[in-house]
Structure 1
Amino acid sequence: MILILFQGYILGNAATEPTVEENSKIPFAHGMGLISNELYESLKMGCGGEYVNVDPKNEVCLNDIQAFSKLTSEIEGAHILEPRCPFSSPKPRESSRKRRSLNVNEQSQEFLVPEPPLPTIGCRTYGYLLSYYWNNDYNVRKALRIRLGSKGEWQRCNFGLPYAREIHSSFSYHVSLSTKGYRSLIYSGDHDMMVPFLGTEAWIKSLNYSIVDDWRPWILHSQVAGYTRTYSNRMTYATVKGGGHTAPEYRPAECYAMFQRWINHDPL
């Protein structure tokens, strides 16, 4: 048995409580100026703050959610200031054959489902595409000492892989770890709409621990790098100004400084 001396953990833009985080997208979009005051007020009144589990008979709420979806459909969720680009990478070879769907008629006519578009130069996601080719290059694999034939194609994400999601919320783990006194650093890129900082702050608040160091800016190179707050359960929460999903990809210097201070038990 291998014993691990667990002392704490760090989570960034962490999907924790899906319903809370999904519900936070609308107030986040309003705060960022993506939807009008009138639509936001109508959403709050018609939906009562619940935008996920909506009564199918509530036409006012459903119509407003549809309007919200249309207004934000061309926004890049990972970072609302970035251009919207395709995210997909090439599919693994075993599933890269053109998928076929059957049109149910007498002749069972077949038609091809088009492959999703790939990112182009100028998109941040173009680097994701290049990483696929780099990691599957023979010379790279040789340099990494990957035995020929021992591994299949490398994929950056699990899109298209058959798996069942068994844990839908990790909130209970935070409850357990908090009661055991482990240190934690939870941070959010403040321009991420996939897991908005408002949702993260909501589930942290529901842990119901008192604040020991209240909301204040944290500084790097004499500039505000974000905002932070510390709780009595030894949890530090921080936003990363200008960060997206995930924050270090967009603000590496700030996130490195944040990590270095936390791991050294220094205040942000």
Structure 2
Amino acid sequence: MEKLLWAIVGLSVICSVTAVAAGDEDVIIHQVTDGKFTDHLIKELPGAPPYSFDMHSGYITVDEAHQRALFYWFVEADVEDPTTVPLTLWLNGGPGCSSVGGGTLSELGPFYPDKDGKTLLKNPNSWNKVSNLIFLESPAGVGFSYSNTSADLTTGDERTALDSYLFLVKFLQLYPKFAKLPFYIAGESYAGHYVPQLAATILKLDKDSVINFKGIAVGNAWTDSSIDNFGAIFFWWTHALISDTSFYGMAKTCNLSATGPLHSLHHSSGEEKTCDDFVELAANEMGNINIYEIYVDVCLSAAAQAETKHFAKQLNRHPKRPGSLGALPLKTDDSKYDPCIDNEVEAYLNQPAVQKALHANTTGLPYIWTDCSNIVNYSEKDLLGSVIPVYKDVLLKSDLKIMIYSGDVDAIVPVTGSRAWISTLGLNIVEDWKPYYVNNQVGGYVTKYDKMTFATVRGAGHMVPYTQPERGLYLFGNFISENA
């Protein structure tokens, strides 16, 4: 499951799951022949319970010259006729984290792994109850996706959007009966960049309306570094995670629009404290909490602790910075999710029988799948850039339905930042803030603007479909319905 992890404790974005070191030989081990679409039907998924819908997975090449191919997992809707409901592309963020490990097997897909890492359990709140779902590992170098050209591993928002568009065009050629369905893009976290930029690319390039594009939905969306970063430190302070000293110190000394990943701490040599000093103070004050959902526990497995130490060393961070890498929320309902689900997902996808069933790693050579890539060199300029202009100049001038939603106990890209950047769009309120209900309980709150809907999900963390699955499904199902 993809996560954002602040390199200065909330002030930048990187992947948080350990990836196996890989040289060029690891990048080019896959071989794919495009033009001859082989049968991508998943005939038998190891460890899965009985299911009545079809699933497909495999590679689609988006650049023949470079042999750059993206891996996808397509889950048809669990309804009598899947061509009667929409088609949705789901994107996890990072940047550089997997939509297969996150979306398919941890959040909104039909299954999730049991603690043995071999058996799959049914997800009663899978979004394939209301939509056909495409989970795409993007950009190349993430998960099973690859390129035979090493230079492709240095990438950014523009190529990621273009590759995803080319993938969609070929995907609809491969699955023509789904081509005219209402199409949506959804995602979370750094998909706050991926989703709107892909949407703008489709609007620009799809002149023949090959894609029946209807709308986008983004959760806890990383959108504008300055606004989202201030939203984060403000959330920490107002939720009693840090002191007045560290909050006002960061607000005064930190350039929140220019703080990127892998920035090491440089302590002041004199008496005057710097931004990094206040950031380290905040990290110590928060302790080892689950920064993705602040009111639940962290994973205490040996693997998760090892990941924490690994990235603390890589980032030159204080080892007590908030958030245990690999730590996911402990479910408080009757479901069998556990806070260490990342470990089970990785164990499941690294079984040779599973990779064969998914038509992944087609050479059969040893390949270790990891949730987030450490071989993708993603543009820091793009990471720190704002996509607010994409909304103002393109998306809000289109006929697309737009929903921004926010789990309200996420402290990485919290609701405070999302509300702040939405306020800069100058939208007119059609229906002001009000609660919505799921099973007679407040599921969250919603505000409808003339060009956008904003909703919160009560009690949800950074990964809404994982932390509040029933409320997440309700919200998404209503959004894509004709009456939403």
Q: Do both proteins adopt the same fold according to a TM-score greater than 0.5, normalized to the shorter chain?
A: yes
Which residue does the alignment assign to 1:155? 370
Deviation at 1:129, TM superposition (A): 1.1
Which residue does the alignment assign to 1:216? 434
Unmatched tracts of structure 2, length 5 or more: 1-165, 170-209, 260-267, 308-323, 331-337
CA contact (8 A) 1:215 1:228 kept: yes
Identity among equivalent positions (%) equals: 26
Where relative contact order (Cα < 8 A, 6+ residues apart) is larger, the structure is: 1
Deviation at 1:77, TM superposition (A): 1.1
Which residue does the alignment assign to 2:201? none
Q: 1: CA distance between counterparts of 2:234 and 2:327?
A: 32
Deviation at 1:149, TM superposition (A): 2.8
> Secondary structure of 1:7's match?
strand
1:239 aligns with 2:456: yes
CA contact (8 A) 1:228 1:237 kept: yes
Deviation at 1:144, TM superposition (A): 2.3
Which residue does the alignment assign to 2:475? 258
1:35 aligns with 2:253: no
Which AA in structure 2 matches 1:246?
A: M
For 1:194, which of 412, 426, 430 is the aligned residue? 412
CA contact (8 A) 2:292 2:461 kept: yes
* Residues 159-174 of structure 1 mapped to structure 2, 5 A cutoff: 160-165=374-379, 167-168=382-383, 169-174=386-391
CA contact (8 A) 2:429 2:449 kept: yes
1:183 aligns with 2:401: yes
For each residue in 1:223-263, what CA deviation from the matched residue of structure 2 results, as whole angstroms up to 9, or x when unmatched?
A: 10111111111x11111111111111100000000011111
For each residue in 1:19-42, what CA deviation from the matched residue of structure 2 results, as whole angstroms up to 9, or x when unmatched?
A: 211111122112212234x44784
Unmatched tracts of structure 1, length 5 or more: 92-116
CA contact (8 A) 1:189 1:197 kept: yes
Deviation at 1:150, TM superposition (A): 7.6
For each residue in 1:11-61, what CA deviation from the matched residue of structure 2 results, as whole angstroms up to 9, or x when unmatched?
A: 11111112211111122112212234x4478448x718965669x899467
Q: 2: CA distance between counterparts of 1:208 and 1:122?
A: 35
Quickly say closer, same or farther: Cα 1:242–1:15, change in 2 above 3 A.
same
For each residue in 1:203-239, what CA deviation from the matched residue of structure 2 results, as whole angstroms up to 9, or x when unmatched?
A: 1111111111101111111110111111111x11111
Which residue does the alignment assign to 1:77? 291
> Secondary structure of 2:290's match?
coil
* Residues 91-170 of structure 1 mapped to structure 2, 5 A cutoff: 124-146=338-360, 147-149=362-364, 152-158=367-373, 160-165=374-379, 167-168=382-383, 169-170=386-387
For 2:252, which of 9, 24, 47 is the aligned residue? 47
Judge which range, 71-80 or 121-130, deviates more: 121-130
Q: How many residues align?
A: 239
CA RMSD of aligned residues (A): 3.6
Which AA in structure 2 matches 1:47?
A: K
Q: 2: CA distance between counterparts of 1:174 and 1:240?
A: 22
Quickly say closer, same or farther: Cα 1:59–1:178, change in 2 above 3 A.
farther
Max Rg structure = 1
Judge which range, 179-188 or 252-261, deviates more: 179-188
Which AA in structure 2 matches 1:177?
A: L
Deviation at 1:161, TM superposition (A): 1.7
Quickly say closer, same or farther: Cα 1:154–1:196, change in 2 above 3 A.
same
> Secondary structure of 1:24's match?
helix
Which AA in structure 2 matches 1:227?
A: Y
Q: 2: CA distance between counterparts of 1:151 and 1:220?
A: 46
